[in-house]
Amino acid sequence: MIQIKNLWKSFEGKQVLKGLDLHIPRGETLVIMGRSGCGKSLLLKLVTGLMQPDAGEILVDGEEISGLKFKELNHMRRKFGLLFQSAALFDSMSVEENVGFMLAQHTKLSRAQIREIVIEKLHLVDLDGTEHLRPAELSGGMRKRVGLARAIAFDPEVILYDEPTTGLDPVTCVEINRLIQSLHEKLEVTSVVVTHDMDSAFTVATRMAMIHSGKIVAFGHPNEMLENDDPILQQFILLGAPEQILNVSNPVLKEFILNLREE
Amino acid sequence: MADQPSVPQQKPVSLLRFADFAGARILYRLSGFGRASIFVFRTLALLFKPPFQLNLLVRQLRLIGVDSLSVVLVSGIFTGIVLATQGYIQLSDLSAEGQIGRFVCVSLIKELGPMVTGFVLAGRIGASITAELGTMKVTEQIDALSVMGTDPVKYLVVPRFLACAYMLPILTVFSTFSGIAGGYAVAVYLFNMNGVFFMKQVQSYLYISSICISLIKATSFGMAIALVGCYKGFTISVAGGAEGVGKATTGSAVVSLMLILVLDVLLNHLLFTLLQLK
Ligand SMILES: Nc1ncnc2c1ncn2[C@@H]1O[C@H](COP(=O)(O)OP(=O)(O)OP(=O)(O)O)[C@@H](O)[C@H]1O
Ligand SMILES: [Mg+2]
């Protein structure tokens, strides 16, 4: 589905991505992990063509996105749903207008039809009855969920989640994880989830990748990641979870951590 | 003075450095100029491309036109008052105070009407456009538009451009007439002139050509204000944050003001030499 080859990107002399290669297979949920500032959000922006790489290729369905004309790029982007790390809601619009934005822009649906879809998507993220509110009237976690509803409103083929559960309470986290899973199972979307939340990561992932110093240092099934003895990866997974060990809901991860603790 | 020999050695180096620095600055300016031109052409090209989103335009027309009307009227009146007062004093030195109506009318229509309206809108609308779009840029809302397959230039810039281009001439008519009213008040109530005589003069100097000059100027000022405002907002550096937005906002107003002055001079020449409008 998405093929990334030898991607380089720097900012004012600071090299962030250094020849990153990654393949995101169709229909999989890929979790991307990595230290803060390692370029995860940046990678999502490069994939959606919001930024241009210094070098390298990004192929979406075999098409190089930097080679696309403006119009073609705009068209290709409709396949994507991106949840921004900051949610990036339009603050001059209501929640309803935010979630229904793509439908209003790119379809001929009536207001009432759009409203119906919006209400359905808001229900999915557990935000019934918030249609008329403005983003400024929402809490951080609610904004994130409106962003999520907006990202899935146009039924995208690929959903890119930038830290979907950060700042949410444990109950909502579990619901969001379920939502990600069910979108994956029912609609067979391809998902990319950037997260620091190891519990969430091991719950939703069918593939995992770890970015370190501008490259992918580990890639594979969640179980392979647990067996991978790369010290950076081990540290990341172990440190990511111990405080929450009692409320880790993923049995594989729980067992793994308990094993590591005993050693 | 021991290191005197090193001075001539340093000179070429620092000269080279300076050339390097200056060259980089010039290139930077030129590339900025290139980017700005591309932005302008893209906006113009998108003007005629469907879909046309009338609701966005109407919203901007209201924000830009209706909400600016009171400020424009007030500044128009005061311009007329000042103009008539100074004009009367100067003209009476030449024993030509009878021409005050002509003086006020012609200067307002051709110069001060569009100029004052342009200044007011550059400060009011140009700056607010930059602040709004700049904030959208910094908070990734413009990226969000792009990602959702909507061209931010089409969605944000085109309606603002059209609204400014339509509204400036209309507001200029209001400011010009309120200016004439201000001048009338000064001439009639302060200097005891005959009101009918004043209005007769205004009427006989209200040439079609002057009105054309006024509207052409106003339209171009409007376009300039919108383009500068939007460009400054779009090109804000994300790293600058709230302070960056503040700086860009002031910058936008200053650049618009300068551009209005330059355009005014250029248009005076152009319209006079090419079209023989005076
Ligand atoms: N627009 C930009 N201008 C300058 N530098 C940038 C820009 N965007 C990202 N960077 C730099 O790129 C690096 C990666 O940023 P990115 O936002 O992708 O990190 P991240 O992996 O998402 O981190 P986090 O987990 O904290 O969200 C950072 O060091 C940041 O300083
Ligand atoms: Mg990030």
**Interface check A143 vs B, CB under 8 A:** no
- Tokens 């068209």, located at residue: A75
Tokens matching residue B166: 């339509």
* Residue A37 vs residues A15, A23, A73, B89, B110: alpha-carbon distances, Å: 11, 21, 27, 69, 57
* Contact present, A156 and A79 (Cβ < 8 Å): yes
pLDDT at B192: 85
- Using a pLDDT cut of 90, give the percent of chain A over it: 49
* Contact present, A218 and A233 (Cβ < 8 Å): yes
**Which of A70, A77, A90 shows the shortest C-beta gap to B147?**
A77
Q: Which residues of B touch A70 (CB under 8 A)?
A: 151
- The candidate with the shortest Cα–Cα distance to B238, out of B135, B155, B146, is B135
Q: How confident is the model at residue A198 (pLDDT cuts 50, 70, 90)?
A: confident
Interface test mutation site (partner A, options B136, B147, B156, max chain A beta carbons within 10 A): B147
pLDDT at B238: 79
Mutation pick for ligand 1 pocket among A16, A20, A161 (CB with most ligand atoms within 8 Å): A16
Q: What is the average pLDDT score of chain B?
A: 87
Give residue ranges with CB within 6 A of ligand 1.
Answer: A 11, 16, 34, 36-42, 85; B 238-239
pLDDT at A248: 60
Given a cut of 90, whether residue B158 has pLDDT beyond it is yes
Residue B40 C-alpha to ligand 1 middle, in angstroms? Answer: 30
**Sequence ranges of the domains in chain B:** 12-49, 53-275
Q: Which residues surround ligand 2, an ion (CB under 5 A)?
A: A 41, 85
pLDDT at A240: 65
Q: How far apart are CA B26 and CA B18, in angstroms?
A: 12
Task: Kindly determine whether residue B149 and residue A90, on different chains, have CB atoms separated by under 8 Å.
Answer: no
Between residues A209 and A242, the one the model is more confident about: A209
Tokens matching residue A217: 């240092």
Given a cut of 70, whether residue B77 has pLDDT beyond it is yes
- The candidate with the shortest Cα–Cα distance to B107, out of B175, B52, B53, is B175
pLDDT in tens, A137-186: 998 888 989 999 999 999 999 999 999 988 788 888 888 888 888 888 87
Nearest-CA distance from A254 to chain B in Å?
37
**Which of B143, B144, B149 shows the shortest C-beta gap to A74?**
B149
Tokens matching residue A233: 């990866």
Given a cut of 70, whether residue A247 has pLDDT beyond it is no
Q: DSSP character for A52?
A: -
Between residues A102 and B22, the one the model is more confident about: A102
pLDDT at B3: 40
Select the CATH number that applies to the domain covering A2-79+156-221 from these four: 2.60.120.10, 3.40.50.300, 3.40.1350.10, 3.40.50.11440: 3.40.50.300
What is Dmax (Cα atoms) for chain A? 61
**Ramachandran bin of A87, using left for φ above 0, alpha for ψ from -120 to 50, beta for the remaining angles:** left
- Tokens 């039809």, located at residue: A113
Q: How confident is the model at residue B9 (pLDDT cuts 50, 70, 90)?
A: very low
pLDDT in tens, B16-51: 777 777 877 787 777 778 888 888 888 888 888 877
pLDDT at A252: 72
DSSP notation for B21-46: HHHHHHHHHHHHHHHHHHHHHHHHHH
**Pairing mode, strands A215-220 and A207-212:** antiparallel
Q: How far apart are CA B113 and CA B136, in angstroms?
A: 33
**Which of A84, A86, A106 shows the shortest C-beta gap to B149?**
A106
Task: Kindly determine whether residue B149 and residue A77, on different chains, have CB atoms separated by under 8 Å.
Answer: yes
Q: What mean pLDDT comes out for the span B161-181?
A: 95
Q: Which residues of B touch A88 (CB under 8 A)?
A: 139-141, 143-144
**Interface check B143 vs A, CB under 8 A:** yes
**Which of A70, A78, A84 shows the shortest C-beta gap to B144?**
A84
Give the number of residues written for chain A: 263
Q: How far apart are CA B183 and CA B187, in angstroms?
A: 6
**Pairing mode, strands A29-34 and A207-212:** parallel
Q: How far apart are CA A111 and CA A14, in angstroms?
A: 47
Tokens matching residue A114: 């759009």
What is Dmax (Cα atoms) for chain B? 86
Given a cut of 50, whether residue B111 has pLDDT beyond it is yes
Q: Where are the alpha helices (DSSP H) in chain B?
A: 6-47, 54-64, 69-93, 100-107, 113-121, 127-138, 141-147, 152, 158-185, 195-204, 208-234, 241-275
Between residues B182 and B8, the one the model is more confident about: B182
Q: Which ligand is located closest to the Cα atom of residue A162?
A: 2
Residue A37 C-alpha to ligand 1 middle, in angstroms? Answer: 5
Between residues A198 and B170, the one the model is more confident about: B170
Q: How confident is the model at residue A20 (pLDDT cuts 50, 70, 90)?
A: very high
Between residues A69 and B125, the one the model is more confident about: B125
Q: How confident is the model at residue A113 (pLDDT cuts 50, 70, 90)?
A: very high
Q: Which helix (H) or strand (E) holds A216?
A: strand A215-220
Given a cut of 80, whether residue A114 has pLDDT beyond it is yes
Q: What mean pLDDT comes out for the span B57-82?
A: 92
pLDDT at B5: 41
Given a cut of 70, whether residue A261 has pLDDT beyond it is no
Residue A134 C-alpha to ligand 2 middle, in angstroms? Answer: 24
Prediction pTM value: 0.86
ipTM greater than 0.85, yes or no?
yes
**Pairing mode, strands A2-11 and A55-60:** antiparallel
Beta bridge partners of A192: A30, A160
Q: How confident is the model at residue B97 (pLDDT cuts 50, 70, 90)?
A: confident
Between residues A76 and B3, the one the model is more confident about: A76
* Contact present, A30 and A216 (Cβ < 8 Å): no
Segment 194-253 of chain A within 8 Å of chain B by CB: none
Residue of A nearest to B135 (CA): A91
Interface test mutation site (partner B, options A14, A41, A68, A82, max chain B beta carbons within 10 A): A82
**Pairing mode, strands A29-34 and A190-194:** parallel
Tokens matching residue B206: 């209200």
**Interface check A84 vs B, CB under 8 A:** yes
pLDDT in tens, A22-57: 999 999 999 999 888 899 999 999 999 999 999 999
Q: Which strand ranges, in their side-by-side order, compose the sheet holding A55-60?
A: A14-24, A2-11, A55-60, A63-64
